Amino acid sequence: MQEFDYDLFVIGAGSGGVRAARIAASHGARVAIAEEYRVGGTCVIRGCVPKKILVYASRFADDFEDAAGFGWSLERPKFDWPTLIAAKDNELARLEGAYRATLDKFHVELVMERATVSGPNEVKLAQSGRIVSAKIILIATGGRPNIDPKLPGIEHVITSNEAFHLKEMPRRVVIAGGGYIAVEFASIFNGLGADVTLIYRGGKILRGFDEDLRDALTAAMTKRGIRIVASQVFTKIEKTGGGLVGYSTTGEALTADAIMFAIGRSPNTAGLGLEAAGVKLDGEGAVVVDGASQSSVPSIYAVGDVTNRVNLTPVAIREGHAFADTVFGNKHWSVDYSTIPTAVFATPEIGTVGFTEHEARAQFGEVDIYKGSFRPMKAILAGRDERMLMKLIVERKSDRVVGVHVFGPDAAEIVQMAAIALRMGATKADFDQTMALHPSAGEELVTLREKWVAPGEAAG
Ligand code: FAD
Is 131 found in the same domain as 223? no
Q: Are 389 and 419 in contact (CB under 8 A)?
A: no
Q: What is the pLDDT of residue 458?
A: 63
Q: How far apart are CA 219 and CA 348, in angstroms?
A: 11
Q: Positive or negative CA dihedral for 450, 452, 456, 460?
A: negative
Q: Are 124 and 277 in contact (CB under 8 A)?
A: no
Residue 457 lies in a domain: no
Which residue range forms the structural domain that includes residue 205?
Answer: 154-263
Q: Determine how β-strand 388-395 pairs with β-strand 401-407.
A: antiparallel
Q: What is the pLDDT of residue 428?
A: 98
For residue range 75-87, list pLDDT tens digits in order: 999 999 999 999 9
Q: How far is the CA of 17 from the centre of ligand 1 (A)?
A: 10
Q: Measured between alpha carbons, how far is residue 415 from residues 408, 412, 422 in Å?
A: 11, 5, 10
107, 156, 358, 438: the active-site residue: 438
Q: How far apart are CA 414 and CA 416, in angstroms?
A: 6
Q: How far is the CA of 90 from the centre of ligand 1 (A)?
A: 19
Q: What is the pLDDT of residue 453?
A: 86
Q: What is the pLDDT of residue 290?
A: 97
Mutate to test the pocket of ligand 1, among 43, 124, 300, 344 (most ligand atoms within 8 A of CB): 43
Q: Is 87 helix (H, G, I), strand (E, B) or coil?
A: helix
Is 205 found in the same domain as 322? no
Residue 337 lies in a domain: no
Q: How far is the CA of 460 from the centre of ligand 1 (A)?
A: 45
Is 131 found in the same domain as 29? yes
Q: Are 265 and 42 in contact (CB under 8 A)?
A: no
Q: Are 355 and 369 in contact (CB under 8 A)?
A: no
Q: What is the pLDDT of residue 2?
A: 57
Residue 75 lies in a domain: yes
Amino acid at 195: D
* Count of structural domains within the chain: 3
Mutate to test the pocket of ligand 1, among 139, 313, 353 (most ligand atoms within 8 A of CB): 313
Residue 220 lies in a domain: yes
Q: Are 432 and 445 in contact (CB under 8 A)?
A: no
Q: What is the pLDDT of residue 454?
A: 77
Q: Measured between alpha carbons, how far is residue 334 from residues 82, 173, 328, 454 in Å?
A: 44, 42, 14, 39
Please give all residues whose beta carbon lies within 6 A of any atom in ligand 1, as ranges.
Answer: 11-17, 34-37, 41-43, 47-48, 51, 114-116, 140-142, 160, 181, 268, 272, 304-306, 311-314, 316
For the CA of 113, the nearest atom of ligand 1: 20
Is 114 found in the same domain as 189? no
Is 282 found in the same domain as 140? yes
CATH number of 43's domain: 3.50.50.60
> Which residue's alpha carbon is nearest to atom 37 within ligand 1?
47
Strand segments, DSSP code E, in 323-424 are 342-344, 350-354, 367-374, 388-395, 401-407
Is 95 found in the same domain as 240? no
Q: How far apart are CA 152 and CA 236, in angstroms?
A: 5
| pLDDT tens, residue order, the chain (460 aa) | 458 999 999 999 999 999 999 999 999 999 999 999 999 999 999 999 999 999 999 999 999 999 999 999 989 999 999 999 999 999 999 999 999 999 999 999 999 999 999 999 999 999 999 999 999 999 999 999 999 999 999 999 999 999 999 999 999 999 999 999 999 999 999 999 999 999 999 999 999 999 999 999 999 999 999 999 999 999 999 999 999 999 999 999 999 999 999 999 999 999 999 999 999 999 999 999 999 999 999 999 999 999 999 999 999 999 999 999 999 999 999 999 999 999 999 999 999 999 999 999 999 999 999 999 999 999 999 999 999 999 999 999 999 999 999 999 999 999 999 999 999 999 999 999 999 999 999 999 999 999 998 777 765 5
Of 328, 356, 382, the last residue of a domain is: 328
Give the bridge partners for 34, in sequence order: 11, 111
Of 302, 328, 354, the last residue of a domain is: 328
CATH number of 426's domain: 3.30.390.30
Q: Measured between alpha carbons, how far is residue 225 from residues 187, 262, 421 in Å?
A: 10, 20, 37
Q: How far is the CA of 268 from the centre of ligand 1 (A)?
A: 10
Give the global pTM. 0.97
- Our answer to whether residue 27 is catalytic in this structure is no
Is 273 found in the same domain as 248? no
Give the bridge partners for 259, in sequence order: 174
For the CA of 143, the nearest atom of ligand 1: 3
> Which residue's alpha carbon is nearest to atom 32 within ligand 1?
47
Residue 304 lies in a domain: yes
Distance of CA 351 to the CA centre of its chain: 12
Q: How far is the CA of 450 from the centre of ligand 1 (A)?
A: 42
Is 286 found in the same domain as 245? no
Q: What is the pLDDT of residue 297?
A: 98
> Which residue's alpha carbon is nearest to atom 19 within ligand 1?
114
Is 162 found in the same domain as 130? no
Is 11 found in the same domain as 136? yes
Is 258 found in the same domain as 271? no
Q: What is the pLDDT of residue 455?
A: 76
